[in-house]
Structure 1
Amino acid sequence: MEIIVITSPDAVPGEAVVISELLDSGAANRVHLRRPYASAQEMGKLIEAVPQRLYGKLSVHSHFDLAIRYGLGGIHLNSHYSEIPAGFSGLISRSCHSLADIENAMQEDYVFLSPVFDSISKPGYESKFSNMSLYIANRFYCGKIMALGGITPEKLLPLQDIGFAGAAMLGCVWSAFLSGHINSFISNLICIRRQLNI
């Protein structure tokens, strides 16, 4: 089971250090740089603040030319950036908000399905999926669906039982960082991953 962390949509001081710690420690397998209002220059500065050895574990949600320039490992397609740049050979992902959306994203390497649980970062954004529908979808689209929305380390076991290929975290990570508890969060996530053998 893969663990993906998505950056806060707004710049967070010190986030490059957190990104590095998450990846170097093995707490996360990949980090998605999602900064919808950032310029290419601002995104480039964030990328350059992360050690180059980790570039293959980064995906961008915008300014796809940066993925080629820096040799990043992935791009995330969306309504504003829907074209795969020529020459890009890394991972391709997309967000889906219904089971029907997944059918239209079969060419991608993986998809985020959200919200699987009620969102942490978007209050009022509630899950509309039953466990049975998620179980069936994961059997049908084996190995492609990453759970997103309301994900915390404590929810990894039920996600594993349902059959998700992975989980993406956003709100719980940056809440822990901003409250000064990121080190204990990372330790807890690593501990849970070891317990679940993921």
Structure 2
Amino acid sequence: MLIAITPAEPTLEEGRKIEALLLGGWHRVHLRHPDASREDMRRIIESIDQKHHGRLVLHGHFDLLNDFNLGGLHLNGRCPSAPSLYRGALSRSCHSIAEAIEAKGMEYVTLSPIFDSISKQGYKAAFSPSDLSKLSDATVPIIALGGISADNIAGIRKYNFSGYAMLGSIPWESTPEEIHKFATHTRSIC
């Protein structure tokens, strides 16, 4: 599974860039923008063709699910639980092997940082090869996150990851056409 995570700040033509990633073969895009207003998030979602909405995952403003048919919610430190009546797909951020192995009721979890982060200065890889070999005990799919780039994808294949997520390696400042080229190239090396 290939997952793109949006940067902290919304980008120009973000909806078209998200569509370019999805059309390039990526499975999900996590709408992360921690400081975006509900209306900013609404505008981003509305700028994306409805046929892709089921592949979008929210990191906040969970009430937008009432207005759009989205692909799920991602639980994290800012938003640690889903609304009480929510019964859709859930994913969660994990920052320890034990937390990832013990996760229940999730479609998948992300585990980070696998490598030194590209988008967060000073956020260093947290796991040894011995730690990562314990992932075979997991009962839910685990997605590698943190410092993932086209150059190190091969390094995660030997562990029990079900895919990877990228944030800092995605050229969000590029045009939608360049993002599509990046998406298809990256997809081809998985």
Instruction: Tell me if both proteins adopt one fold, taking TM over 0.5 as the criterion.
Output: yes
- Whether contact under 8 Å (2:109, 2:140) holds in the other structure is no
Unaligned runs of 5+ in 2: none
Letter in 1 for 2:104: M
Which whole-Å CA distance do the structure 2 matches of 1:86 and 1:53 have between them? 27
> Is 1:191–2:179 an aligned residue pair?
no
Task: Quote the offset at 1:29 in angstroms.
Answer: 0.4
Task: Quote the offset at 1:104 in angstroms.
Answer: 5.0
TM-score by length of 1: 0.87
Match of 1:22 in 2: 21
Task: Quote the offset at 1:128 in angstroms.
Answer: 1.9
Which whole-Å CA distance do the structure 2 matches of 1:126 and 1:102 have between them? 18
Identity %: 40
Which whole-Å CA distance do the structure 2 matches of 1:109 and 1:186 have between them? 23
Higher-helix-fraction structure: 1
Match of 2:107 in 1: 109
Q: 1:40 to 1:177 in 2, by over 3 A?
A: closer
Q: 1:47 to 1:140 in 2, by over 3 A?
A: same
- The RMSD of aligned alpha carbons is 1.8
Any idea what the Cα deviations from partners look like across 1:94-126, whole Å, max 9, x if unmatched? 111111322553232211111000000012110
Which whole-Å CA distance do the structure 2 matches of 1:115 and 1:82 have between them? 19
Which whole-Å CA distance do the structure 2 matches of 1:165 and 1:110 have between them? 9
Unaligned runs of 5+ in 1: 194-198
Which whole-Å CA distance do the structure 2 matches of 1:67 and 1:104 have between them? 27
Match of 2:122 in 1: 124
Which whole-Å CA distance do the structure 1 matches of 2:19 and 2:7 have between them? 15
Task: Quote the offset at 1:52 in angstroms.
Answer: 0.3
- Whether contact under 8 Å (1:143, 1:165) holds in the other structure is no
1:49 pairs, out of 47, 50, 65, with 47
Task: Quote the offset at 1:142 in angstroms.
Answer: 4.6
1:141 pairs, out of 138, 143, 151, with 138
Which whole-Å CA distance do the structure 1 matches of 2:188 and 2:163 have between them? 17
> Is 1:178–2:176 an aligned residue pair?
no
Match of 2:148 in 1: 151
Which whole-Å CA distance do the structure 2 matches of 1:5 and 1:63 have between them? 18
- Whether contact under 8 Å (1:68, 1:88) holds in the other structure is no
Any idea what the Cα deviations from partners look like across 1:54-109, whole Å, max 9, x if unmatched? 11100000011112320101101123323322443322011111113225532322
Match of 1:89 in 2: 87
Letter in 1 for 2:21: L
- Whether contact under 8 Å (1:142, 1:165) holds in the other structure is no
- Whether contact under 8 Å (1:59, 1:67) holds in the other structure is no
RCO comparison, higher one (Cα < 8 Å, 6+): 2
Match of 1:11 in 2: 10
Q: 1:103 to 1:25 in 2, by over 3 A?
A: closer
TM-score by length of 2: 0.90
